Each structure stands twice: as structure tokens, then as C-alpha cells.
Structure 1
Amino acid sequence: MTANSFIFRPGQFLVALAIGLSASQAVISAQESKANRQAVAFFEKKIRPVLVQHCYECHSATAKKVQGGLLLDSREGLLRGGESGPSIVPGKPQQSLLIQALKFESFEMPPKRQLPDGVINDFVKWVQQGAVDPRVATTVVQAADSQPPAPPGINVEEGKKFWAFQSITKPEPPKVKESNWSRTEIDRFVLASLEEHKLTPAADADPRTLIRRLYYDLTGLPPTPEETVTFAQSYAADRQASVEALVDSLLASRQFGERWGRHWLDVARYGESNGNVRNSTFPYAWRYRDYVIAAFNADKPYDRFLTEQIAGDLLQTDSQEERNANLTATGFLALGSKPNAQGNPNFQMDVVADQIETVTTAAMALTVACARCHDHKYDPIPTRDYYALAGIFTSSETLYGAGGNNMGGAPPTDLHVLATKDSPAPLPVVQPEEAGTKGKKKGNAKGKAAPKYPAGTPLAMGVRDRTTPADCKINLRGELRQLGAAVPRGFIQVCTIGEPPALDAEQSGRLQLAQWITAPQHPLTARVAVNRIWHHLFGQGIVRTPDNFGLHGEPPTHPELLDYLATKFVADGWSFKKFIRSVVLSRVYQMSSEFDASSFTADPDNLYLWRHQRRRLDAESFRDSALAVSGQLDRSPGEGSVLARLGEALIQDKLTPDKIHQPSNRRSIYLCILRNGEPEELTVFDLADPSLVVGARNVTTVPAQGLFLMNSPFMVQQAERFAERVLAWQNPQGNANDANRIGLAYQLALQREPTSAELKRAEAFLRSAQVELYATTPDQRRRAWSALGQSLYSTNEFRHID
């Protein structure tokens, strides 16, 4: 930011906002349910397994002797504490005895050895964020014997009666009273529900609202003024034809894959570094990002898309390019944040737990990972089923590279070597001495030579089968050192309809796992997929817990519609583009978001879709829009990642986030996503946590967002470029004045003309700002227009989709 940059003082900012650039002054409040679901996921993944493994032996209801009167197997026990007082103070880790004990500052827990720093930091983060703990009853822990834990409370056949585990039906569209309202069969399902609840659907959205909605939903970018005018004209002539033509052009654009690929990267917990205390870079992760974008642009069928990510290395291919893509796709299983390996005998099983959680949550919206230490507390998933899946992944080798040496002692691994035109076969691994190293053999402390690849070798993270696949033994209490009986590799029983694929004893079983998940008769996969798409197009899914279709999730608001959509999705070849097209061409999608008091009273959460849901732009769309409006957006595809040039290293050493996040005008999907060091312009607006599977992002309103809009160098710079763009513009007559330019500013930022009142206020603001700036800068005119541009960026209307 230059010395003359104009930064809003509080009074100036209020004046700017008083222009009234947006009709709506409502602020979206925190969506507590989404935040709570992610907090629960963090507890289940990071906290509960540690408590079970290290604490329950002495501090649970089933302990032979409860030490210190402290029970840690329920939330009530944690809050009540023991003889020394409460264990935790939610929100205040520094005052929590549990944290002090883990750090060996007071008591020493566990007494045998201190837990790794990364685990302790997880507990600090958990307490700091409120210590969310879903446990409401004392946990029952099985005795540590040689037999697998029995599932006395789980009846799989009874569990199959739950709606999510029943076969997908093919319902007929219902009859409705207002038959002329519906344009598609989707509309009939929604209208039938509205009529049942005596609700009236909102009017159709106007063309300006509709083009803005379609552009953002399908590409994540705003339309230009010219595109908005052209669409309005064609809309007036032939509404349906104009909408269909626009939708088809947006689906065919490269920006579609960048937009919808980012949605999947949230679910795939995409990150380019390990996170945790030992935050090692993943310099080849970007290849997976590009694979995902290309898959959406090519409209790769979803069943194939999933299969490649779970078992791409096991698929037959017809070309080098296809083989490279399939290997890269398996990065889905390798990208997860790895725990500290030093002093952690469960490192491998922790990696497996991440893979199980990612696959089952992303594809089936089930929290199977909760069954690692004990039978699932809510869903009919016994621990045996967890270890049936675990055997598939323990029979696979995860390829994350030499960065493992930096991740707390994890052994380095190979990477997938991709074929090139010059080298159709995978390149061999070259040892340092073979590459020309002279003298004493270089290696680690044990004298082993961290293998290297020739310079320029294309590499990718991923998985491959181990030489000798084997079943996995149950880890009693989730502890690898306490083994029970082996469990044959297999699948989740409650989700199995019909005869599951037979596993090949010579392979890991990942290919059969993918076949089982993508089978048309699977009760969850298609339902979960269409629900995720619906969520992104309507702001909430038909099941409003898109990552949890289990008993603790919410039931569908329109169950027949959900099954109709799932059936249609499969029948249309699992095509994302066909499915999205059918939804956005429906009348329910094209409704206005206008408020109606009586409908709001009857259905305040808009469960039955009486209007379109107003939504705030996600972090990437906001940043990309700011660049687009200022004329600075570089729409060309990103090339690799800055980390690809920096190699494998620890972020803490020399590669601090401020050195990695260099200015870029490319779309946000191409920015480097460091775990524990994401770009500020994205994190402040609720970027998904890259360590978790996130199907629905939090939407919060916090003071840091307002401060960012006012003072961040990024926003100041975009406002300056916006001002330069507007001031340089000339109308066809060559006599542009302030009124003309204000009109252009509104068209660029909000895709509409200003009202007469807005025009007058904007003119008055520019005069006032130029007077105030006269004594501080000789370029007061440009600074005044920059302030106007920044105020436009700050409006609710710019930052929301109607």
C-alpha cells in the first residue's frame, strides 16, 4: 500500500455506506448449526480417539479404579472434573487443568509419556473454540482382550429401516392444484409441498437478478454490463430460450470447472501442506486440484470420478494421459493432514482413519470414522465394519513424498511418476550416488540414502497397492498395540443392498470398494451427490446436513424429490452438467428472493422453498469478483503452484506464509492453500478448513470482515484499479461526466443502474471526499473515486446473491 493510499476513517466509511447502494441492510448472522457440525467433526477426529486411547483406562466409568475422581468419558465428567476442580473452561485453554496436565505444567497426563505437540495443540484449539463435545452419556469401553468387541447395541437389519439406508425409489411427480405454475417435474414436487403447507411461491426473478445468480452459481464470477444488457433484451423476447442459451454457454465455459471443482476440493479436504505442528509442504498436491477442475469441465461421470479417486491406479487405460489422470486422482486419499509420527505407534492407522473418514463422508455422508474405538454411538455401524474397511486401506500404500521426514519422523515415501512424451514408461528412482554424487554416501542419521527423482520428473501424490494385501485386526480402543481378531476386508453392512462385489485376494480391495460405492443400488451415493449440488444452488440441501445422512443428521425436507433427483442423476449417466442444467431451468430455482411476511411466519427457515434463498458470496467468489470489477482478473488457468518451485520443506523454517502468498490476479482456486496459513483474503470470509471434509461452509459475520473491507491492502488496491478503470472510460459521444461514470461503476459492481437518489448521494460523496483529500494528496480526484469503489465493494448487494 502506498503512502498516499486512501484508508477509510470510521466517519468516512459511514458516509460511504450511507450512499444506500444496496436495498437490503440485513446482515447474515452466524449459522451456528453448520459451525457446530464442523466442531463435532473435529472432536470425533482429533479429540475422542486420544481420550479413548490414553485416558479411559484411568478416567472412565469402566476403569478398574477411577483416578482422582475424574471421568473423561462424557462431557459432564469433563466439565465437572475431579478432586482438583473442573477439567476444562470452554474458551479458555490457559485456565483449563486438562491442558495444563497435557503440557506437563501441573499434573502429567498421560503419566507414561507426554503426548506429541500436535495432539496437545488440537486440544488447545478444541477448548479455545468452545470444547464442543456431543457425548451425553458415559462411554462404554470394551475390555482389552483378544476377541473383537461385540456390538450388543447394534442391530444392522433393524438399522436398515432408517430412510437413508433404504433403496432409492422412483416416485412419480405429484399432482398439484396450480398445474400451470410448474415448468419442470422438479417444480411439481416443490409446489405440492408448498400447497400442502398453504404457502405461495414467490414471483419470478427479474432478468438482472437471474443472470447474476446463474453466473455466480455456475462460474463464481459476475456478468459484465454488456452481458447483462444482452440477456435482458433476449429475455424480454423469449424468456425460456434466452435462459437455456445462457445456461448452456456457462456450463461449457472453463470457469464452470473452476467453480464446481472448488466445491469438491472442500469435500476432499484439499491442502498443499501437512498442517499440524510439523507443517511440511506438499509440492505436488496441485496436480490433484487441476485433475478435479478438468474432470468437471469434461463432465466426467460422477461414478467414474469417484472410482478414479479411490482406485485409479488399478484401472485399465487406453492412453498415457488417462493413466496420468488416474494416478493423480488417487491424491484424494493422500492429501490428508498427517499426525506427528514420532512416539506415535498409531501413525499408520491415523492415516487410514483419515482415508476412511474422507471416503465415507464425501461419498456417503456417513461418519464411519466414529467407529474406530468403539461401536458407532448413533448409526448402526459396528467397529467390525470399520476394520473391514481399514483392511482395504492398510493393504494400500500412501504416497506423500519425502516430506514425511519433516512430519515428526514419518518415513519418506515414493510418489507416482507420471509418463511424458519423452518417457512413456515411469521413470526409475535414481539414488544420489547414481546421479553423480561423489565421495561418502549421503543419507539420514541411520545411514540410509530420503531416494531422488531426476530433475523435472512429473510427480503426483496418491496411493498404490501393497505387495501383500492382508486383513486388518481390530485395534482395541483404537490402539494398534492392543490387537483383537482379524476382520475380513469388506464394506459397511447397513449400506449394502444385494450382493456386494467379491474382493480380489491379490489386491487391496479399493477397486471393489469403489464399485460398491458407485453401484446404482447403493442407498446413499446418488442421494448424497444430488443433495450436495442442491445445497450449492439453493443455499441449503434437501438434507440440510450434507455431510451426515445418519441418525444424527436432519431428515430430508422433500424425501420424494430427493429420490426423484437421485434416480434422474443415475439415469442421465451420473452427469453433473445435465443434472445442474435440469435444476437451474426449473421455476423454483428461478424464483425471486423477495420477502413475504406471511410466508416467513409460517416457514421462517424457507424449508419448503417458497422463495429463493439469499446467500452471501463465498470467499473465492468475493475475491474473484473484486478482481473482475477492477479489471485485474487474470482468467488464464493457474500453472502449478509456488510450492512446486520451492520443494518439500517445513513452513516453520524459511517458507513462512507471508513469503509464499505473493500477489496474484488469478482466480482464487489457484492460490496456495497452506494448512494453518491460508490466504487472508479467503480465511476472513469463511474458507473451508482444509483438514476436514466440508460439504457446507460456515457463514459468519465478524468484525474482522469489516476491517478487511476498509483497510486491507488487497481491497485498497482493487478500489484504486476500479477508480482508474472508471475514470479512463469514455462513452460513445466522448463527453463522459461524473454521472455517466457513476452509472458505469454501478453497472460493473452491481449489474444495474443507480437510482436517482443513489446518483445524487454518490455525487455528493465524491465532492465531499475530494475536498477532504485536497490537503493530503494531489491526486484527490482518483482517491475520491477509489473511496466510492471501496464503498461499492462493501455493500451487502455486492457481497450477496439474490
Structure 2
Amino acid sequence: MLLAATAVSAQDVTPEEVNFFETKIRPVLIRECYGCHSNKTGNARGGLKLDTKQLMNLGGDSGPGVVPGKLEESLLYNAITHEDLVMPPKRKLSQKVINDFKTWIEMGAPDPRVNEIAKVNSTITSDDIQQAKDSFWAYQKPKYTQPHKVEQNDWPRTKIDHYVLSKLEQAELAPAGDAEPEQVLRRLTFDLIGLPPTPEQVAYFDAAWKKDPDKAVEYVVDRLLKMDQYGERWGRHWLDIARYAESTGREVNMTYPQAWRYRDYVIDSFNADKPFDRFVQEQLAGDLLPVKTDQKWTENLIATSFLAVGSKNVNEESRAQFEADLIDEQIDATSRVFLGMSMSCARCHDHKFDAIPQTDYYALAGIFKNMTTYFGRPQSEHGEFISTVQERQLSTLLVMPVEDPNPFDKRYSARQLGRMNQAMDAKLDQLATQRRRAMQERSITSQRQMIVLLRQASELSSQLATVDEKGRPVSYCMGVQDNGASENARLLVRGEIDQPGELVKRGFPQVLTDKTIRVSSSKSGRLELARWIGSDDNPLTARVMVNRIWQHLIGHGIVRSTENFGTTGQMPTHPELLDYLAIRFVESGWSVKTLIREITKSRVYRLQSTFNKQHHEYDPDNTLVWRANSKRLDAEAIRDAMLSISGELDLKRPRASIVAKEGNTRVQNGRFDSGRPPQQRGMRDGMDGMSGRRPGMFGQGPGMFGGGVQNADEENPFDMESARFRSVYLPVVRDALPQSMAVFDFPDASTITGTREESNNANQALYMMNNSFVTQQSQSFARRLAKFSSQSVKQVNQAFLLAFARMPTSDERTTIIEFLREYPSGRGPSAMAMVCQSLLGSAEFRLID
């Protein structure tokens, strides 16, 4: 990127207009405003700077300072007339000066001040882009390549096996043998539904495996994919990369009470095996896709929450800065999640390595600029009272086309509604009186009283906004909608909002398109972008998704850098296999379930994890997949497995979320704004049913989920110790994760996480030894065994089947029986409960071998 200083003026100014500005406007700005609102002084109260035309028009956190020709939209005029804002703060300007500003704005706000800004000349040429297209694998469409012939013709079961085995044979390596049937079954159940197999399922699979391993695997896979728990497992994988959370995060952490709708949308989409291309398009432009029913329209609106659930700095003073950062976050999520590329680095400079000029970033920014993001509070007719000193950047929510209130939404009778409206009217009168008093007295006391009244009015206004005129709850969701504009974005020099450059036509990344795609001048371009990303016209979407599916099933991606398929990412270990899977994915109708079936039926999937020193020396990272990769269970699977084994998991989906119950509030120090922990605020109401349903043969598995706090005073209150539903339904509040999630590497919900970390530390062992949830589940586990049989030997056998999907060895059984005989009774937990906790705390329980 090359910079050249260039004088830029938005319009020609006549000599008469220059004279009017220089004699009547500029002196007042210098004398009364620059001290608090200028670049020179370094002050920008409210994010507003007035010492250049561009910055004045750009405005601050409340909006543009001056809108030429429009008095009512020019906040500078509003401030100097002391209507709502008060500038200067200590006295009102003379009526003559106010009239001069009125005349100036009405004549178009002519301003001769000219900024010296840098014009950007890209260092990336069209030849550079074409060369990248021609030479780099990721920028070329997938193509089918016949795998090389293999010597072990009887080993492969699928085309996948041919690709993997041919690479191994070229390296003179042999694949490991097949895993034991119980190991394969445990992989399948945890990989596909996130739950351990039951003893009945172990017995069935072992018998079927002896007859025909291929048919045994196929049978189990088909049944697991039909279970609702499949969508919960694979939906959680998607929520990781969608940076799903139920609060804004950052310094002022405000809740997202409607985020749960997106969570359920994702889970339902995976269960329905919604074509992935449609899944992509709905999340990027569901509000623009044609639909036939209000129900489908509602689903599409909720889908666009993908663009709304990201982290936000609602305390940002400048509205322009907030909007630029919001668009940047949306571009980053869209490019990395769907295309496996980061476009955000091109916000400030050319991305030379991937041939992405800065103009490509602003071509996308123009598309996102023409939509409104809805993430905050219900629409209120008294919205001006919602804002607080801490929450400067506000948003409303989308009203859903169908009624679907959550169970915590309140209904008001006509009498209650009347009283609330009367209280609101009274509060408005108090505010008007207090505002006049504050302007006259200008004391700290009067300002504090004003803040208290604003908060009270805000609370009332929010309550009224949640219901219609009859007191019935209004159903809201997060999401986005086109705002009716079709504008291009200005390139920002070094990404700075106060250094606008030339306008950039809306468009798509050039290096990923075969031909230039034009966006209609009358449309935002977002629907076209969604349809292009959710199609095989771009070379990356299918590859990126099949790589993630491979990673979750095999243990690592064919491309290890799952969100970076660019030149700075890692090269694919099996490029022909990656392209084959991408082509198969598209040919199957973008069916995730079909691809999972193909991978799990392969011989590669059922390899042993046995160590081979010679193979390890040649390929220490197992990039050639000569053996299976041992995987540690993630945080959710560990919690869910404990509850499943103890028999306490409730498989019924809970309605909404605890955050939905709390409503719009701030989260501080792991607590809602009231300062009381959620347990003391009716946290369990309607949320902690325990069905205790028993498993069928690969049907609805056993109950199993719980909280994980040691002590309500010591632990994060969002742990929800009493909960028995699955982990995916626990509240995900930024900067307030439950210990049981954080200690086992639950991802940072503010980031896009395609590959979770897998640490092994002392805190994990201490958690399994001392946490009250673990001890509770161990005791429940022991009670379940006691109900199963009164004989110790049978109890030990059943315990191993439940925890490890295998029978104990003779040494293990003998050791445990001796311990049970010698352990004194009546001193703390029962002997069997201690045995159960030792099984839950073992490495074998936490690992999928």
C-alpha cells in the first residue's frame, strides 16, 4: 500500500460561503468547542471532533455533528440550543450566534476546511491476483484425482481408505490394525452424539461386530444420526466457530436474552440435515431469502443472529467507530468461518501474501454497511431513556412474525398495564422538571438525581416494550436486516475512521472469483454475497466444512489451520482427499450426515491408536494417519458423560436460557447486575427437571448432565449445579464461564474457535477429586450400581461397562473387590462411591482411544 498526500474537498465553496464560515462559524468553533472537541487538543468528548469538515460530519457516539441542510438531524445545533444536549456546558450562546449556525446549516453547511489525507495506491496489481489464482491450491476449485493404486487391495473399505493408504505406502508405512469393537463403539457414540455407550449397546455391537464389522458400524451410525443428540453434539461444534455467547463481553458486559434462539436454530438445522449451502445463506442473508410462510421467515431471521452475536464494545463513545468495528467483526467472522480466510487484516493495509488488496476489504464493508444489526433491547417508544453512561451504543431487536415467547416473558393485565403507563408519564414529567433544574443548578447532586431518574425511566420503558397494547408478550429475536440503503463504503487510511479515502465499489474478494461479480447499484449486495459463499462457485466453502468434519472425526484436519486456508496457513496433508471429500459433499446435496457416514464407515476411522516407534520417527505428528489419534473428551462431553453414567441426565431440551430469564442487564464479576447470584434469583425454575429416562438400543440414551460448582460462594454462579440438561444448553456468558467448562478448555466465546485446545494440568485433576458435582455424580453412580445388583462383582463389571465400555481385567476386579471389603463403613462416602469417583477421575474416562 502506497500513500500520497492529497487535498480532498466534498464540495466547491463560493467566496461568499467562505466569508460567512470564516467570520461567523469558525471563530465560534475555535473559541467555544475546540477545547473539548478537536484533534489538536487531543480531546473528543462523546467521540466528537469539530476541527475538520470530515470529522464534524462523522460525529460522535450520538450521531453526526452536522447534516448539511437538516437542522433536526444536526446534533451540533441541537446542543447549542440546549434542547437535549447542552453545549457549551456552562452557558448558552447568544441568539445571534445560534441564528448564524441555523443559517449556515440550512445553506448546506459550506466548509472550506480541507483535510490533507492519504490516497491509497495498492501494491497488489491485477497480475498479482491472477498469479495467486493460478498458483495457489486454495484459490482453485476442487478437482477429482484418482487415488494411486495400492498394494494392500483387501485393506480399503472406501475411497477414503485408498487415498490414505496410497500415501502410507509411498512413505513405506503400514496402517495400524483395527481397534477393538468397544473402542470403535465408544468413538462413534462420543463423536456423533457426545454420550458414552450403554452396556446394552456394547453387548449388541460386540455381537454384531463378530458377524460383520462393516455392517455393525453402518447400523450404529445410521441410528446415531437419527437421534436428537446428534444435533446437540454437532451444533455445539458450529457454535464454537460462530463465537456464540449470550452477552456482549468487553468492559460493559450486557446480556443477549434472545441469543438462545440462534443456538436452537443451529441444533435443529443439524438434526434436519439442512443442506449446508442453505445453512450458510440463511445465516448471512436469511432476511433477504424468499419464503412462503411466516414460520420459515422467522427461522431465517433467527439464522442471521450469526452476524449479531459477536462481542461488542457498547461503551464505545464514537458511534462511527462502533459501526466500523461492528462491520469488521462481521467481515472477520464471515470470511474465517465460511471461507477459511481472514479478511480483517486488509482493513488497514494490503494483505500481500494472499493477494487481498485493502480495497477488497472495503468492497465487503460496503455490503455490510447497508444493513442494521439488532442485538440489544426491545423496541421502545421511550428509547431515549434506555441509554446509560456505561452502555453508550444501543440497539433494538427484531419482532418475530410468529408468536413464540419464552417461558419467562411476563404478561400484564389491563390494570397493571395502565398503572405502568401512568408511572411512565409521571416519570417523564419528573425528568423534564429535573432536566430544567440540572441546567440551572449545574451541580453534581442534580446530575446524580437526573441519572437515577433516567435509570428508572429506562426500566419502565423496557418493561413496557416487552408487551403489546394488550399486555401480551412480544416475541423478539436478534439478527440483521437491510436498511434500504445501497451505498459504497469509503476506504479508511490505516483503518482510521477519521481518515476517510475514496469510495470503493461493493464486491467480493477478487482472488476467489473467476470473473468480476458486479453488485447492483440499487441493492446492498448481501444476498448475492450469501449465495456466492453458499455455492460451489467459490473454491473454499465446501473444503473448509469437510475439513472441519474430518477434524472432529479423525482428530486433526487435513488442513491443520482450520480457519486459515491462505498462504500463511498450513498446506493440506492429503490435498486429493480434501478435494474428493469437497466434491462428494456438494454432490450429496451438501449433506453433513452423508459425509459423516462415509468417513465413519472407512477403515481409517477404526484404526488402533497403538504406538509404533519407527512410524513415529518418520511421522511424529501422524499427518499420514498411520494410526488413530487419541482425543480427550471436551468439557461438555465430560460433564454429560458423568451424568449419563450416574443416570441423572435429562435429555429434554430446556426452553430458552437463564440469561433470557434475567433479561437485559449487565454481568459483573460473574453475577447479574443486581449483585445476587443466579441461584438466588429463581435459577432452577422450570429448568432442572430430571426425567431419568433409560436407554433403548441406540435410541434415547440415559439421563446425564449437571452443574459443577464446589461452593456457591466460591464458584461462578453460572455453573448451575442443579441443572440436569445437556451442556450445550448451559448459559454461555462472556467472561463468566463455569469452572467446569473453563478448566477443560471451553473456548473463548469472543473468538472463532475451530480447534479447541487440549491441556493437561493439575486443576483438572483437582476438579475431578474435589468438586461437589463430581462427588454427587459418583454417589449417584454408586446408587445406580446398587440398584443393578447386590453382588460386588456384578457391580464392578457394570461400573466398567458404564465408564469405559469394557469389562475390567481380572487384576482390576480383584483389586477393587479387596478395597470394598477392607474399606470401613460409616465414614464419609461409601466405598463404592469412592470407586466410582476414581473411575470418573481416570485418564481412560476422559480419553477416546
- TM-score (normalizing by structure 1): 0.77
Corresponding residue for residue 383 of structure 1: 358
Give 1:682's aligned residue.
741
- Deviation readout 1:126-170 (Å, 9 max, x if unpaired): xxxxxxxxxxxxxxxxx9725234235882122222111112112
Is 1:744 paired with 2:744?
no
Is the contact made by 2:124 and 2:357 (CA closer than 8 Å) also made in structure 1?
no
Contact 1:202 1:592 (C-alpha < 8 Å) held by counterparts: yes
**Residue identity matched to 1:506:** S
Change (3 A) 1:548 1:169: same
Return closer, same or farther for 1:201/1:746 CA change in 2, 3 Å cut-off. Answer: same
Match of 1:145 among 88, 94, 117: 117
Q: Does 1:396 align with 2:371?
A: yes
8 A Cα contact 1:684 1:704, kept in partner? yes
C-alpha displacement of 1:379: 2.0
Deviates more, 1:265-274 or 1:595-604: 595-604
Note the alpha carbon deviations across 1:727-753, whole angstroms, 9 max, x for none: 2222xxxxx321221111111111111
Equivalent residue, structure 2, for 1:339? 313
- Paired residues of 1:331 and 1:463 also in contact (CA < 8 A): yes
Aligned to 2:132: 159
AA partner of residue 436 (structure 1): N
Separation (CA, whole Å) in 2 of partners of 1:566 and 1:729: 48
Cross-structure match for 2:478: 461
Per the alignment, in what secondary structure is the counterpart of residue 470 of structure 1? coil
Distance between the aligned counterparts of 2:205 and 2:389, measured in 1?
A: 53
Label 1:551 to 1:630 Cα distance change in 2 as closer, same or farther (>3 A): same
1:231 aligns with 2:205: yes
Q: Does the 8 Å CA contact 1:168/1:521 hold for their aligned counterparts?
A: no
CA distance in 1, matches of 2:618, 2:477: 53
Please state how far the C-alpha of 1:453 moved relative to its aligned partner. 3.3
Q: Which amino acid aligns with 1:273?
A: S
Q: Report the alpha carbon displacement of residue 210 of structure 1 after superposing the two structures with TM.
A: 0.7
Question: How do 1:607-622 and structure 2 match up within 5 A?
Answer: 607-622=623-638
1:445 to partner: Cα distance? 5.3
Find the aligned partners of 2:568 and 2:307 in 1 and give their Cα distance. Answer: 26
Please say if 1:763 is aligned against 2:693: no
Task: Judge conservation of contact 2:322–2:393 (CA < 8 Å) in 1.
Answer: no
1:560 match: secondary structure: helix
Query: Which secondary structure state, in structure 1, belongs to the residue aligned with residue 798 of structure 2?
Result: helix
> What is the CA–CA distance in structure 1 between the aligned matches of 2:392 and 2:418, rounded to whole Å?
24
Distance 1:148 1:402 in 2: 39
**C-alpha distance in 1, partners of 2:388/2:594?**
45
1:258 equivalent to 2:232? Answer yes
Tell me, in whole angstroms, the C-alpha distance in 1 between the residues paired with 2:324 and 2:419.
Answer: 35
Task: Give the match for residue 720 of structure 1.
Answer: 779
> Pairwise mapping of residues 52-201 of structure 1 onto structure 2 (< 5 A)?
112=42, 145-152=117-124, 155-160=128-133, 161-201=135-175
* 1:167/1:497 contact within 8 Å kept: no
Structure 2 residue aligned with 1:566, among 582, 606, 609? 582
1:235 Cα offset (Å):
1.4
SS of match in other structure, 1:557: coil
Identify which of structures 1 and 2 has the higher relative contact order when contacts are C-alpha pairs closer than 8 Å and 6+ apart: 1
2:539 paired with 1:523: yes
Q: CA deviation at 1:701?
A: 1.2
Note if 1:327 corresponds to 2:301: yes
Contact kept, 8 Å, 1:148 with 1:384, in 2: the verdict is: no
The gaps in structure 1 that reach 5 residues or longer are 1-51, 64-108, 117-142, 424-429, 731-735
CA deviations on 1:450-509 (whole Å, 9 max, x unpaired) are 682315222110000012231100111111121000101111111112453x42333321
For residue 381 of structure 2, what is the aligned residue in structure 1?
Answer: none
Trace 1:292-303 onto structure 2 (pairs within 5 A).
292-303=266-277
Q: What is the match of residue 583 of structure 1?
A: 599
CA distance in 1, matches of 2:515, 2:477: 36
User: Equivalents in 2 of 1:611, 1:670: separation in Å?
Assistant: 34
Indicate the larger mover: 677-686 or 146-155: 146-155
Distance 1:275 1:621 in 2: 25
Corresponding residue for residue 399 of structure 2: 417
Aligned partner (choices 547, 550, 559) of residue 534 of structure 1: 550
1:510 aligns with 2:526: yes
Structure 2 runs not aligned, ≥5 long = 6-38, 47-114, 379-385, 406-413, 432-452, 679-715
Q: CA deviation at 1:213?
A: 0.5
CA distance, structure 1, for counterparts of residue 307 and residue 388 of structure 2: 20
The Cα of 1:349 is off from its aligned counterpart by 0.7
Q: Secondary structure at the match of 2:353?
A: coil
Higher-Rg structure is 2
Instruction: Confirm or deny that 1:477 pairs with 2:491.
Output: no
Matched, 1:440 2:419: no
Which residue in the other structure is 1:662 paired with? 720
Q: Is the 8 A contact 1:530 1:565 kept in 2?
A: yes
Q: Per the alignment, do residues 381 and 251 of structure 1 end up closer, same or farther by CA in structure 2, a change over 3 Å counting?
A: same
Task: Quote how far apart the aligned CAs of 1:338 are.
Answer: 0.3
1:654 is aligned with what amino acid?
S
Task: Give the CA RMSD over aligned residues.
Answer: 2.9
What amino acid sits opposite 2:398 in the alignment? H
Aligned residues: 653
Q: Residues 371 and 483 of structure 2 are in contact (CA less than 8 Å); yes or no, is this contact kept in structure 1? A: yes
1:340 shift after superposition: 4.0
3-state SS, counterpart of residue 338 of structure 1: coil
Q: How far apart are residue 559 of structure 1 and its match? A: 0.5
Q: Matched residues in 2 for 1:661 and 1:337: separation?
A: 21
Contact residue 630 and residue 719 of structure 1 kept, 8 A: yes
- The answer on 1:673 being equivalent to 2:732 is yes
Deviation string for 1:284-305 (max 9, x for gaps)?
0000000000000000000000
Cα deviation code 1:331-363 (max 9, x no counterpart): 000000101443344111111111000000000
Residue aligned with 1:484, SS? strand
User: Is 1:549 equivalent to 2:565 in the alignment?
Assistant: yes
Compared CA separation, residues 330 and 435, structure 1 to 2 (3 A): farther
Picking from 359, 374, 377, the partner of 2:334 is 359
Question: What residue is the counterpart of 1:426 in the other structure?
Answer: none
TM-score by length of 2: 0.73
